Structure 1
Amino acid sequence: MGEIPPDGVQGIDATLSRGPDNILRLRWSRGISITEADARLAMDEVNELCSGVSLPMLVDMATTKAVSRGARTVFGLPCSASRIALLGSSQVDKVIANFILGVSSLPCPTKFFTSEPAAIVWLKEG
């Protein structure tokens, strides 16, 4: 896939970065409906950015419109994330996150938050 462009993940409407705290930050664009192809591209980029090292990941899914069944399946596959904090801002985000958490068999500890500082604390615990 090559280098991650500074303005996003090539081929999807999201950004991915690795901070100085070694936390990955995947931020989906507002109002996105995440497809299986989107999920695969994002997870491929996560694995490439980690270079074989497991790192905690903050996934900003605020105002995500929908997550397809195929995307949920992809998110259930092992990747380089050691822990995943799902960050949302509304009851709709919480419903989507709970659906992902309840239906999918996730490969690492995953939890929903509405507070980024609380999510970061939890990610650093692992």
Structure 2
Amino acid sequence: MSADQTEHRFVLRRDDGFVRVEWNRGVTVSERDARELVQRLEEVNPDVCEPMVAILNSMVSLDAAALAILANDLNVSALAIVGPTAVDRTIAQYFREVHQPAFPTRYFPAAAAAIDWLRTPGHSN
């Protein structure tokens, strides 16, 4: 197995009432990465549908298959996408408008506001 196949390109953990995913800085997310996130979320949070905060960390892009997997297979009640750059904002907008996830999705330039939004009624299960 190559180093790329064993290296996680994100950190996933449960926090206080939500799940947090932090992508490695400057990553391009592939279909494989998206499938791994869905699988790891199920391992960390089996049979529970909590809100998620996703920290993009200057993400470069996501391929179309990755976006489709995240929109269709991610078991979350809401998704707050966080990143301070114009690229982060564009990724979030494209994901929400083109892939139309079944859960509420919103962009924030900073994590504190994103977490406050996730904790409002209607965003947790």
Q: TM-score range by the shorter chain?
A: 0.7 to 0.9
SS state at 1:98 partner: helix
Contact kept, 8 Å, 2:38 with 2:73, in 1: the verdict is no
Higher helix share: 2
How many residue pairs were aligned? 116
1:16 to 12, 22, 27: 12
What residue ranges of structure 1 are gaps of 5+ in the alignment?
1-9
SS at match of 1:89: coil
CA contact (8 A) 1:24 1:58 kept: yes
Q: CA RMSD in A?
A: 1.3
Q: Does 1:110 align with 2:105?
A: yes
8 Å CA contact 1:11–1:41 kept in 2: the answer is no
| 1:1-126 superposed matches below 5 A | 11-19=7-15, 21-125=16-120, 126=123
Q: How far does residue 23 in structure 1 lie from its aligned partner after superposition?
A: 1.3
Unpaired segments ≥5 residues, structure 2: 1-5
TM-score normalized with structure 2 length: 0.87
Return structure 1 stretches of 4+ with deviation > 2 angstroms. Answer: none
Structure 1 residue matching 2:58: 3-state secondary structure: coil
What is the identity, as a one-letter code, of the residue corresponding to 2:108?
F
Of all paired residues, the percent bearing the same amino acid is 28
